[in-house]
Every structure is written in structure tokens, then in C-alpha cells.
Amino acid sequence: MGNKETQAPTRRVVNLTGIPQPLAHKSMAVVSGNTIYVSGQLGKGDDGKPLPTLREQGYQAMRQLEAILKAAGSDLNHILRMGIYVTDINGLMTISDIKKELIPNDPPASFGYEVSALALGALVEIDAIAVVAEGV
């Protein structure tokens, strides 16, 4: 049998300034090959605290996801899977409406869970897996 060279998958970390920073020791996103794994985003203001309402937090978390995806070479329309964590299951439809507004066509596969608590007392956290998009 001939020798085959194997290449380790590439791994690139994406971190941005200008958006609220993660609380813990983690990357905002990691790109491996053509796949982007975005860490959970809380809808925080410039002061690092969650915005006052679920709707505001949801929009801000999505804006942060969008900024991170753009830095990684993608956008909201190239999300494959989105995870939504809310502290009140009744808020899931609010986040779904935001997602529908920002990703009106061909939405990603998604799931939503009610959790007992989120960091900083946030009401929602959103994570995503996306693909790198050509021309973005």
C-alpha cells in the first residue's frame, strides 16, 4: 500500500471587538474547514449587561451572531442549525418572530429549550452552526 499524507483539519478562531465580549474563556466562533461554530450569544448592551426585554435581547443576540458570521465569511442566511435557549418557554415565539424577520426564506434547522437560568440573568441565548459562504 502506498503512503497517504493526511492533513489535519484547519482550525481558525474568530474573535471581534466592537461587540459585547464573552464572559468565559471561549472563542466567539471557530471555523473548521467550511463549517463555522458560533458560541452562544446573549443580548448584552455596551455596558455588558443584558438589555431590558426579551425582544431587545433577541435582536441584539442575532446582530452579534451576524457580526461574528460576517467576520468568519458567512451571514445569517447560511446558518445550518440554530439553538435557542430561553428562561421562559412562552418567549420562544418572540425569538422565532425575530428569526423569521431576519431570515425570511429557507430558515435553518432550529431547536428551542427552556432553561432554568442563563448567565447574567439573561432571558435568551442563541448559538449557531453555519457554512462559509462564497462572496459574503
- Chunk the chain into consecutive blocks of 10 residues (it has 136) and report each block's average pLDDT, rounded to whole numbers: 62 89 87 96 94 98 97 97 98 97 96 96 98 83
- Give the other-Cβ count within 10 Å of 92's Cβ: 19
pLDDT at 10: 86
Give all domains of the chain, ordered by start, each with its CATH number.
Answer: 25-131 (3.30.1330.40)
Query: 64 with 125: CB under 8 angstroms?
Result: no
pLDDT at 44: 95
- H or E element, residue 55: helix 54-72
Task: Give the pTM.
Answer: 0.90
pLDDT at 67: 96
pLDDT at 134: 78
